[in-house]
C-alpha cells in the first residue's frame, strides 16, 4: 500500500461508497517564548469536509518529560482517541496537516505502528487540497480500532546508539542543529555519534509534496541506505522523523523510528554528543 495519497485521489475516495476516516492533524513546532500554534482554531476556521481534528500534543503524544518532548502516547489513551475520531480497523484512514507533512506523518506512523493496516498521508497537506472546506464539526460514529503495538520498528536510546554504529541512523533535523551551530529548543546542540545528517525538508519539492519515489531512493542510497542496511531515524522529538520514515517508506526502504529523539538523548548529560559535519 502506498503511504501517501494525492488530493485528487482523496477527493475521489471521499466521494466513493467507502470513504476513509479523515484526520486533521494541524500542528507546528513553536519556538520558546512564542505563543503556541492553535491547530484547533485553524481547524475550526475551515477543514476538509468530514475531517475530525486530532491534537498532536494531547492525543498523539504523552506529556513531555525524561523520554522527550513528544513521548509516545499511552496505548490505551491513543486507542480511545482514535475510536472517538471514528477510526476502525477495517476502514482506511487519511491524515493531513497544514502542508508541512510532519504532524500527519506522526499520525500515520502511530496508527501503522499500532497495527492499522491502511493509513495514508495527504501529499502536500491542506495546501494541495483544491476542493471545498467546511466549518461544521462532524460527530463520527465510534470506531472499533484496537491498538496492537509493534507493527513498525521502534528504537530506544540504546538501540539508536547501536544502529549508529552497525547500520544507518539518519538525523532528520536541520543541518545547523545536527552540527550543533544552533539549538533553539533542547539542552545542547549536536547529534548522536555516528548519525548522518538527512534533513527531512530535503525530501519534498518546492510544492511541498514528497519527491518521486525514484528520487527518494537515490537520495537515501547516497546517504548509505540500501543492500539490506538497517535504517533508523530521529529528529528533535519524534515528529519530523516520522515524516522521514514516511519518505523512506515511499522509497521502499523500511526504517525504525527513535521516538524519544534528540530531546530524550540530550536530556541525559551522560550520553555522548558529537558536533560538526562529521558523523563521529
Instruction: Point out the residues that are catalytic.
Output: 235
DSSP class per residue in 116-164? -S-EEEETTGGGG--S--B-PPP-PPP--------SS-EE-HHHHHHHH
In 3D, which of 107, 128, 89, 135 has the Cα closest to residue 11? 128
Using DSSP's 3-state secondary structure scheme, residue 232 falls into strand
Residues 53, 46 contacting (CB under 8 angstroms): no
CA distance 241 to 171: 8
Residues 166, 43 contacting (CB under 8 angstroms): no
DSSP secondary-structure letter at 26?
Answer: -
Q: Which grid coordinates are listed for 163?
A: 544502529
CA distance 107 to 122: 12
CA distance 133 to 74: 32
Burial class (CB in 10 A: 0-12, 13-18, 19+), 140: middle
CA distance 95 to 162: 32
Using DSSP's 3-state secondary structure scheme, residue 5 falls into strand
Q: Which grid coordinates are listed for 217?
A: 531512493
Amino acid at each position: 500500500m502506498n503511504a501517501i495519497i494525492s488530493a485528487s485521489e482523496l477527493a475521489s475516495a471521499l466521494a466513493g461508497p467507502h470513504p476513509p476516516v479523515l484526520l486533521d492533524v494541524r500542528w507546528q513546532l513553536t519556538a520558546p517564548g512564542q505563543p503556541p500554534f492553535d491547530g484547533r482554531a485553524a481547524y475550526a476556521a475551515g477543514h476538509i469536509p468530514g475531517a475530525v481534528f486530532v491534537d498532536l500534543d494531547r492525543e498523539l503524544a504523552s506529556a513531555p518529560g525524561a523520554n522527550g518532548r513528544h513521548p509516545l502516547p499511552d496505548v490505551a489513551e491513543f486507542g480511545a482517541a482514535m475510536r472517538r475520531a471514528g477510526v476502525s480497523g477495517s476502514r482506511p484512514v487519511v491524515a493531513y496537516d497544514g502542508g508541512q507533512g510532519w504532524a500527519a506523518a506522526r499520525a500515520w506512523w502511530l496508527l501503522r505502528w499500532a497495527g492499522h493496516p491502511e493509513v495514508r498521508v495527504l501529499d502536500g497537506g491542506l495546501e494541495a487540497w483544491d476542493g471545498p472546506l467546511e466549518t461544521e464539526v462532524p460527530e463520527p460514529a465510534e470506531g472499533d480500532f484496537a491498538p496492537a503495538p509493534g507493527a513498525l520498528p521502534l528504537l530506544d536510546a540504546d538501540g539508536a546508539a547501536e544502529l549508529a554504529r552497525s547500520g544507518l541512523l539518519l538525523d532528520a533535523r536541520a543541518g545547523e542543529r545536527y552540527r550543533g551551530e544552533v539549538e533553539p529548543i533542547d539542552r545542547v546542540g549536536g547529534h548522536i555519534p555516528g548519525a548522518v545528517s538527512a534533513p527531512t525538508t530535503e525530501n519534498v519539492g518546492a510544492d511541498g509534496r514528497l519527491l518521486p519515489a525514484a528520487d527518494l531512493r537515490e537520495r537515501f542510497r547516497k546517504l548509505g541506505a540500501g543492500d539490506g542496511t538497517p535504517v533508523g531515524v530521529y529528529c528533535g522529538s519524534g515528529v519530523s522523523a516520522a515524516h522521514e520514515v514516511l519518505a523512506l517508506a515511499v522509497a521502499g526502504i523500511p526504517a525504525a523510528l527513535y521516538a524519544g529523539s534528540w530531546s530524550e538523548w540530550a536530556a541525559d548529560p551522560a550520553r555522548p554528543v558529537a558536533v560538526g559535519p562529521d558523523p563521529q
